[in-house]
Structure 1
Amino acid sequence: MLYDIITAFWRDWIVLKRRMIKFILSRMVAPILYLVAFGWGLGRSITTGGGAYINFLVPGILALNSMNISFNSLTSLHGERVYHKSIEEYFTAPINPLSFAIGKILAAILRGMISSAIIIILAYAFGADFTITPLFLLVLILNCAIFAEIGFYAAMTIASYEDMGRFNTYILLPMSFLCGTFFSPDKLPTAFYYFVHILPLTHTSLLLRGIGSGGVPNMISVAVLLFYVITCFSLCVYVTKKAQE
């Protein structure tokens, strides 16, 4: 099974390696705009808890970016299933279908982590001050895993590109702005406050912000992320087995 996972992962790695420069350059655009507009522009007139706003902003950008990249990395799988009809070739090949799913998810996590590394480098260049620890990186990996799994599930179940776009509009876009990326969810009305704390991106933002500032991680937030990882992976297993029928 491990060999099958590596095989599925390796295919995506070869594609990424050949496009690495373009991938890196394209991943730099949005973070630079966020850092300039919010970090240098708006952020110069804002302080959070006595610290610079850019130090508050960067963990949120990392959570947001890792969500988008990990999810969108699986968009091509939707095309393979719906339009090219090539996913059947994977399932008829001598490879465990579950290994195929894991390999695809791992490849999306890799893309999310490479993109996160780019943001970390840019953030330090812009003068941000936060600490990178193994736990900090683990939280990033968990966030990438959650949204890679959601992306895999969506690619295997949604019927058209238009519906994939609607998924982004109705689910990812609201999380991008409400889940503590640009401001603390404590400022939200009570109903919204409790709602956004159900969502995984909120807990990723809170954990990255707390760990990056040297604080103690909230174990409830860690448990929420682990719950999402396990639940979303179970859904991926279900749709993969169903696709074989």
Structure 2
Amino acid sequence: MSFLPVFQREMAMLVHRIGGLGYLFSGLLFPMIYLLAFGWGLGSRVEVAGGYVAYLAKGMLAIAVMMNGFQQTAISVSAARFYFRTFSVLRMSPVSDFGIVFGIALAGAVRALFAGAAIFLAAWLFFDVQLLSLPGLLGIVLTAFCFAAFGVAVGLSIRGQEQFSVIINFFITPMTFFCGSFFPIANLPSAVGKVVSLLPLAQTNALLQADGWDGGAVAALILLAVLTALAFAWGVVRMKRYQEF
């Protein structure tokens, strides 16, 4: 398995960085604040099937996994390219382009799942939120890899850090607020809801809110798997075309 050295390298870097409290909590701060603020402030006032706090906790879990999977991975790849100039070392190694992308994405997914576990632990401690269903568990694992692979592709594609902000502002932030994490997509205008329902985070939330394998959960899992494959394929293509500046 040629990806293992890359995965081990990324995990060793994560263990080194995690000693800093800022790094550990930076990816958790945003979803944690929303969970506590909305959970305490609106939890008893908003009516959603199964309770708003449980609904919100799953939405914050999805956001935490998305943000940590994408943002930390994209920053790591782009920083290695632009600032440390160390990314070319991977290209000179005997690891295939597929293995490099898979190893980095897998490490990003593990990092995202750790962040998601921390968010869900807080929800369980403060709000007594119940465990996830099987569709929810599979959905959150696939989501972690999807956004980590997307992070690799973006980190290899951007020409400067200012372009990273464009991706955050025009793609990640809209998904955060409109893909069913704070309220059901059905509450959106019909035309907007149809577009939003095709985005990966919408599939994540659909799986997290599902109690079992109904038609909607199966369709969401299939679409999320397709989007994950596309993100990974984009990462591999960008890796094959990568040239050091």
The answer to whether the superposition gives a TM-score over 0.5 is: yes
Give the AA of the match of 1:10.
Q
Q: Distance in 1 between matches of 2:179 and 2:234?
A: 23
Specify the alignment match of 1:68 in structure 2. 67
Alpha-carbon displacement from aligned partner over 1:8-66 (angstroms, at most 9, x marks no partner): 011111122233353444444334312221111122211213x4210111111111111
Q: Distance in 2 between matches of 1:231 and 1:35?
A: 31
Specify the alignment match of 2:171 in structure 1. 171
Residues 70-89 of structure 1 mapped to structure 2, 5 A cutoff: 70-74=69-73, 75-89=75-89
Specify the alignment match of 2:4 in structure 1. 6
Q: SS state of the match for residue 54, structure 2?
A: helix
Q: SS state of the match for residue 77, structure 1?
A: helix
CA RMSD of aligned residues (A): 1.9
Specify the alignment match of 1:100 in structure 2. 100
For structure 1, list consecutive stretches of 5 or more residues without a partner in the other structure. Answer: none
- Paired-residue identity, %: 28
C-alpha deviation, 1:234, in angstroms: 1.3
C-alpha deviation, 1:194, in angstroms: 0.3
Q: Distance in 2 between matches of 1:135 and 1:89?
A: 39
Q: Number of matched residues?
A: 240
Specify the alignment match of 1:57 in structure 2. 56
Q: Distance in 2 between matches of 1:156 and 1:190?
A: 35
Alpha-carbon displacement from aligned partner over 1:215-242 (angstroms, at most 9, x marks no partner): 7462111111011011111111111111
**In the superposition, relative to structure 1, how do residues 244 and 161 fare at CA in structure 2: closer, same or farther (>3 Å)?**
closer
Specify the alignment match of 1:15 in structure 2. 13
Give the AA of the match of 2:231.
C
C-alpha deviation, 1:146, in angstroms: 1.2
C-alpha deviation, 1:133, in angstroms: 4.0
Specify the alignment match of 2:131 in structure 1. 131
Residues 88-237 of structure 1 mapped to structure 2, 5 A cutoff: 88-211=88-211, 216=214, 218-237=217-236
Give the AA of the match of 2:179.
C
Stretch deviating more after TM superposition (128-137 or 91-100): 128-137
C-alpha deviation, 1:136, in angstroms: 2.4
Normalising by the residue count of structure 2, what TM-score does the alignment of the two structures yield? 0.91
Q: Distance in 1 between matches of 2:28 and 2:150?
A: 24
Give the AA of the match of 1:9.
F
- The 8 Å contact of residues 66 and 115 in structure 1, kept in 2 or not, is answered as yes
- The 8 Å contact of residues 91 and 244 in structure 1, kept in 2 or not, is answered as no
C-alpha deviation, 1:103, in angstroms: 0.6
- The 8 Å contact of residues 31 and 63 in structure 2, kept in 1 or not, is answered as no
Give the AA of the match of 2:139.
V
In the TM superposition, structure 1's runs of 4+ consecutive aligned residues that sit over 6 Å from their partners are none
Q: Distance in 2 between matches of 1:28 and 1:69?
A: 8
For structure 2, list consecutive stretches of 5 or more residues without a partner in the other structure. Answer: none
Q: Distance in 2 between matches of 1:187 and 1:133?
A: 24
Stretch deviating more after TM superposition (66-75 or 215-224): 215-224
